Structure 1
Amino acid sequence: MALEGKKIAVYVTGGIASYKVASFVRLLIKAKAEVRVAMTTAATNFISPLTMATVSKNPVLTNFNNAEQRGEFIPHIEIARWADLSIVIPATADIIGKMANGIADDLVSSALTATAKNKFIVPAMNDEMWDNPAVQRNVHQLKIDGIHVMEPATGFLAEGYAGKGRMPEPQQVLDWIGNQMNDQPFRGIKVLVTAGGTQEPIDPVRFIGNRSSGKMGIALAENAALQGADVTLIAGMVTVDLPTNIKVIRIQTFAELQTKLMEEFPQNDVLIMAAAVSDYHVEQSDDQKIKADANQQVQLTLKRNPNLLRMLGNQKHRQILVGFAAETDHLLQNATTELEDKKVEMIVANDVSRNDIGFGSDQNAGYILQPHREPIKVAKASKKVFAQKILNEIQKLIRKEEG
């Protein structure tokens, strides 16, 4: 069973279908999963925390005050990091809206906001609430964010008539989650991702760097992990939070990146080089801060760094190597030259001169290039969506390699 040995956080929200969750938790325990339950205040009006504690064999989190009384001063972070997967059941329109918009105003929504690993949503509500355009927009956003959402069942509702919005039976939910867990195209694949910019020291306080935020590489790492990959992220200078659910190696300079890549690359199946790597380093950096008052001019000699993509392309053994071409002009022409020059399976090209998709933006657009194939144009989209399109093409290469 896909859930055997898994640490599962079950989040119960305030719907009439909450009474079914006790049976669902029993099924998880029977599947040999370890279960912990957190409940919203509204959920406790439908089913008691004592019931959920009894069936889960663990104390139940209901609010911050109760958690603090047990010595758990940051309970929402602790349970978020503990869980291998999290299940919101039943998921009301309220919690769906909070998750889609990053609202964290109680223990359950705070824990879900802090959760980076697999999340599963089992909606249950009135049919008119389910059909509400705002609810559907929120559901769509959750799917874009990589969260699994189960379709509600059609059947007898609490209002006394039949309609779509009923929570599926516990066994159906269990089977659906099991199928979702098994349908992970990167399960068993080791993926190495680089993200962010490198910095080359001029002296102890100054450096040569670039405007990379690391958002693209982090989106790739997070999406691959959600799809079952064993991910290692080598991160340089980034402007956003790093994932907490995958292995992260921090670097600063080109030399440090090169060292870590040589250590990690041989044991991985896929390498995605999304980092903005310095092309040059200062040949002779100063050990002491260069004094501005004493130096009206400072001359720096920059020395070319080796091309890591070319180096790794010559060393690879059946690995899939993906590079990035960040260009400001002649995008396709320059990216095609990169593809032909290096022994890589894929080059992702994007125009960093554009403010709406360049460094630091939440959006991206560009082309995916592969040998002997027409470039795939990717329209402007969030970096999470762009990352998924890249991973889809990598999946095809993996299947071709396995075939």
Structure 2
Amino acid sequence: MSNLQSSSENRNNRVLVCVGGGIAAYKVCEVVSTLFKSGVEVRVILTRSAQEFITPLTLATLSRHPAYTDNDFWQPTHSRPLHIELGEWADLIVIAPLTANTLAKLTYGMADNLLTNTVLASTCPVLLAPAMNTDMWEQLTVQRNWQQLLTDSRYHGMSTASGLLACDRIGAGRMAEPAEIVTRIHSLLHTGGKRDLVGKRILISAGGTREYLDPVRFIGNPSTGKMGLALAQAALHRGANVTLVHGIANWDVPLGVQAIPVISAEEMQQVMLEYLPNADVIVMSAAVADVKPKDYSTEKLPKRSLPQALPVEPVPDIVAQLAQLKQPHQLLIGFAAQTGDIITPAKEKLQTKKLDVIVANPIDQPDSGFGSNNNQAIFLDGQNHQLEVAHCSKLEMAHHLFDFVMSRHA
């Protein structure tokens, strides 16, 4: 069995954050702070107009390193040109907020400041988080530049959100939220910018189902759907078309993911079977109930009327049905959340359910499994390949799973 250690044990990733001029620049403070706290080395460049909104001192404090401006670019205080040093240093460049002006410069290869010179002097992936007034964002010239720049595989664009803008306009043009930017950064650091799921349609189930006895009581489990969310994010960031079928959730669905909320196992079964024919990869990460109350009351039962022994009946075995109906070109991945010995029951489920891959993850280990932001697991497939992934974030776990699948079953 091969082992895969968490990337936190490797050299710290290096991210160069470039701040453009716009009110959304204040959001970058949270991005820089969060990256530093996660162990990423951060350097910051501010354009001249960015300094009208936020100071170099603020970002220097958050990154624990001096922030660079055009004044540094033109000073002969470095042994090598600053833009060359920064361009070679970075594993990833993030431009947030990306203004219409910087977008135009990048599209046509112009370099008249530290930011644009550094981008041209680098070869790493570049993440773009645009932000501007709705009319500006929707200008034909801006959209043409945006689409043209994204034809270069180096550049990875984040969608703008709609809402109330600083100009009091309600519409498109809001910069992606810091948490979404940070998630995309970690994805790009893992993949190096590869888009190996382009053209793939990924169907994912997530979260727990609820089987109601009456309008207020149900049989359920502690699943929050965070693992399924991470799988959807990872697949989306690698270029896939993602459909996420999820139970009750307290997280936001990523822009670009088709999300279908359900409650019961029967509802999840109907949706999964509906979308199965068009899927290339199906990931059944949901924690589906095993049984449901045999009888349902449309009104809340008084406490005195609750049965001493609750009659139950099985719910549909969704993953078994998917396995029976899937086509040879489709891959079906299941999850087995276990305590104690996780491998033996996972191998049994892999065979009896006729899965292509199964993820065995312990739910009795600290900071892993249900409700946690982290996980650990062992991947197994029908060809006796086995990979152990050490404790890491669920996003990283999701990427390791797609790495495992694509390397052996692409």
Which category of TM-score, normalised to the shorter sequence, fits these structures? 0.5 to 0.7
Deviation at residue 195 of structure 1 after TM alignment: 0.5
* Residue of structure 2 equivalent to 1:348: 359
Q: C-alpha separation between the residues in 2 aligned to 1:259 and 1:398?
A: 27
Q: C-alpha separation between the residues in 2 aligned to 1:288 and 1:276?
A: 27
* Residue among 389, 393, 403 paired with 2:400: 389
* Residue among 341, 346, 368 paired with 1:330: 341
* Residue among 220, 228, 235 paired with 1:224: 235
Q: Which amino acid aligns with 1:347?
A: I
SS of the residue 2:305 aligns to: coil
The structure showing larger relative contact order (alpha-carbon pairs under 8 Å, at least 6 residues apart) is 2
* Residue of structure 1 equivalent to 2:388: 377
* Residue among 184, 187, 198 paired with 2:198: 187
* Residue among 303, 308, 321 paired with 2:313: 303
Q: 1:67 to 1:307 in 2, by over 3 A?
A: closer
* Residue of structure 2 equivalent to 1:198: 209
Q: C-alpha separation between the residues in 2 aligned to 1:211 and 1:313?
A: 26
* Residue among 151, 162, 173 paired with 1:79: 173
* Residue of structure 2 equivalent to 1:267: 278
| Kept after mapping to 1: 8 A contact 2:195/2:238 | yes
Deviation at residue 398 of structure 1 after TM alignment: 4.2
Deviation at residue 262 of structure 1 after TM alignment: 1.0
> Superposition RMSD on alpha carbons, in Å?
3.6
Deviation at residue 67 of structure 1 after TM alignment: 4.6
SS of the residue 1:367 aligns to: strand
Q: C-alpha separation between the residues in 2 aligned to 1:36 and 1:55?
A: 18
Q: How many residues align?
A: 281
Q: C-alpha separation between the residues in 1 aligned to 2:109 and 2:190?
A: 20
* Residue among 253, 260, 280 paired with 1:242: 253
* Residue among 106, 114, 119 paired with 1:24: 106
Q: 1:341-389 deviations in whole A, cap 9, x for unaligned?
A: 1211100001112241021001100100111324211100000110000
| Kept after mapping to 1: 8 A contact 2:266/2:316 | no
Q: 1:258-290 deviations in whole A, cap 9, x for unaligned?
A: 100110011111100010000111111112111
* Residue of structure 1 equivalent to 2:176: 112
Q: 1:291-334 deviations in whole A, cap 9, x for unaligned?
A: 01x33754311111232222111111021000000112221111
* Residue of structure 1 equivalent to 2:64: none
Q: Which amino acid aligns with 1:24?
A: L
Identity, % of aligned positions: 29
Deviation at residue 57 of structure 1 after TM alignment: 8.1
| Kept after mapping to 2: 8 A contact 1:355/1:361 | no
Q: 1:72 to 1:280 in 2, by over 3 A?
A: same
Q: 1:81-136 deviations in whole A, cap 9, x for unaligned?
A: xxxxxxxxxxxxxxxxxxxxxxxxxxxxxx232685xx7xxxxxxxxxxxxxxxxx
* Residue of structure 2 equivalent to 1:288: 299
Q: Which amino acid aligns with 1:372?
A: Q
Once the two structures are superposed, the pairs formed by residues 148-187 of structure 1 within 5 Å of their partners are 180=193, 183-187=194-198
Q: C-alpha separation between the residues in 2 aligned to 1:188 and 1:56?
A: 26
| Kept after mapping to 1: 8 A contact 2:225/2:249 | yes
Q: 1:37 to 1:252 in 2, by over 3 A?
A: closer
Unaligned runs of 5+ in 1: 1-9, 29-34, 40-49, 59-65, 81-110, 120-137, 151-179
Q: 1:186-219 deviations in whole A, cap 9, x for unaligned?
A: 0111000000100000101111110001010000
TM-score, length basis structure 2: 0.61
Q: C-alpha separation between the residues in 2 aligned to 1:269 and 1:299?
A: 43
Alignment partner of 1:12 is 2:106: no
Q: C-alpha separation between the residues in 2 aligned to 1:57 and 1:186?
A: 25
Unaligned runs of 5+ in 2: 1-17, 22-45, 48-69, 74-98, 111-127, 145-163
